[in-house]
Structure 1
């Protein structure tokens, strides 16, 4: 699979647009403090009007959220798009959606429900960043914040270390995302081609049987037969109630993925609970299933 287009590196003074394409904003203090992290770096942040709009559990109607995304993407002065939070709702605005031609591509940064936007953008040939949203950035350790800034400003990443399951070493195209959101993209036009892909998956507050159900769907769909490696981040707060007979989430992951015959690394530091190390979408990486290392190539701009 060819490498994706990386947007031009950001630099202090650039304009970034803040949008809420998914769930309604609730964590206002964390949001404001994360805004200040970007501003203290020298960036100009423009927050959409009515960022606190609510339509049920969504941050406004589908049309309003779709217009937010389109306006930010087409703004010639905007160099990056920061998502306020995840939740649910980004897939709703992707119905009949095409990424407008806006000249230079720009950064899209988020995770969780933003997975759908990142994967849609990837199918359009542009790399985004699976990284903290503006309700979680402030809770990240300094190294994680710096890692995100380093990547979008044109520097390289240090490798991430996890637990190797074996399987040798493979090079492939990194496709990070939330397991639940990604599972609901199976069978849709948003799902990218998976040949030669290294999936990087994480999740939160999903009981082990739900993780089992989703991974079984991936197996039955044939999607897992196409990927060449799997990198697993945090699966946090995924314990079953103590009164319910259950496998652990670790046992489910081993059972559903351990027989694929490909390199797998688990316990990598990305996901819903800090740290959430930034991962670029669509870049070439090396996954070492023996040493437990995910190494990302230097960006080529």
Structure 2
């Protein structure tokens, strides 16, 4: 078992994605620790960053990670590496919560999940891999029925990896269709194809830190520091 008192007494950055999403959300719920949904050594810093073939982008990421992990200042606008998409217009500010979608759903069935009211006004970010969109539809509805999706103020969707469309009798549903279907009439911004997920490089997303999602201008900004300088 994890010693929660030790984490409260001496907080340290926990960095990673995928299954580590469970740790980020559970530890933030129980201790307030800010975890970083971000690249790891094996599939990020130690490999993929050095096969980018883009020295300017690599330098930009090094500067960003350094500021996010070591500086007691708001990092501001996160630099896009590709073309982000506005799936629903609008702008919202709130604390960042999220991670790997199927792990977020599993967490909801445990006592380590954040209380539903913690998602009031939050910006939910998620990514997924190796799932058909029909499974994603189910998972999103699970979050809706657990009280999460009706409370959030905005949504940020990462780059999907091996997510397959659903074909049924000639009707073809892709990820965007599923996201907007579950969202229904809720008028909140949805920014998609943002640089995080089971791909690299990942932008660092600190759990619990206030962010601004502006789908109209296709920007995501961190509004406060994720760390305190020693």
TM-score by length of 1: 0.62
User: What is the aligned partner in structure 1 of residue 48 from structure 2?
Assistant: 139
1:197 aligns with 2:122: yes
1:187 aligns with 2:109: yes
* Structure 1 residue 243, shift from structure 2 partner: 9.9
User: What is the aligned partner in structure 2 of residue 178 from structure 1?
Assistant: 100
1:1-301 map, 5 Å = 66=1, 97-101=2-6, 103-123=9-29, 124-137=31-44, 138-140=47-49, 141=52, 142=58, 143-154=60-71, 156-161=75-80, 162-192=84-114, 193-240=118-165, 246-257=172-183, 259-299=185-225, 301=228
In structure 1, how many angstroms separate the alpha carbons of the residues matched to 2:158 and 2:79? 10
Instruction: Please list every run of at least 4 consecutive aligned residues from structure 1 whose deviation after the TM superposition is greater than 3 angstroms.
Output: 143-146, 240-246
CA RMSD of aligned residues (A): 2.4
SS at 1:295's partner residue? strand
Higher RCO structure (Cα 8 Å, ≥6 apart): 2
Shift of the 170–242 alpha-carbon distance from structure 1 to 2, 3 Å rule, reads closer
In structure 2, how many angstroms separate the alpha carbons of the residues matched to 1:189 and 1:197? 20
* Structure 1 residue 175, shift from structure 2 partner: 1.1
Deviations 1:89-147 (CA, angstroms, capped at 9, x unpaired): xxxxxxxx551325331110111100010011111111111111232112134244543
* Structure 1 residue 182, shift from structure 2 partner: 0.4
The question of whether the paired residues in 2 share the 8 Å contact of 1:204 and 1:272 is answered with yes
Shift of the 168–139 alpha-carbon distance from structure 1 to 2, 3 Å rule, reads same
The question of whether the paired residues in 2 share the 8 Å contact of 1:165 and 1:290 is answered with no
SS at 1:262's partner residue? coil
- Greater CA drift, 203-212 or 253-262: 253-262
In structure 2, how many angstroms separate the alpha carbons of the residues matched to 1:136 and 1:285? 26
Unmatched 5+ stretches in structure 2: 53-57
The question of whether the paired residues in 1 share the 8 Å contact of 2:211 and 2:221 is answered with yes
In structure 2, how many angstroms separate the alpha carbons of the residues matched to 1:187 and 1:242? 30
In structure 1, how many angstroms separate the alpha carbons of the residues matched to 2:63 and 2:175? 30
Aligned residues: 206
The question of whether the paired residues in 2 share the 8 Å contact of 1:178 and 1:203 is answered with yes
The question of whether the paired residues in 2 share the 8 Å contact of 1:197 and 1:227 is answered with yes
- Greater CA drift, 276-285 or 289-298: 289-298
- Greater CA drift, 148-157 or 175-184: 148-157
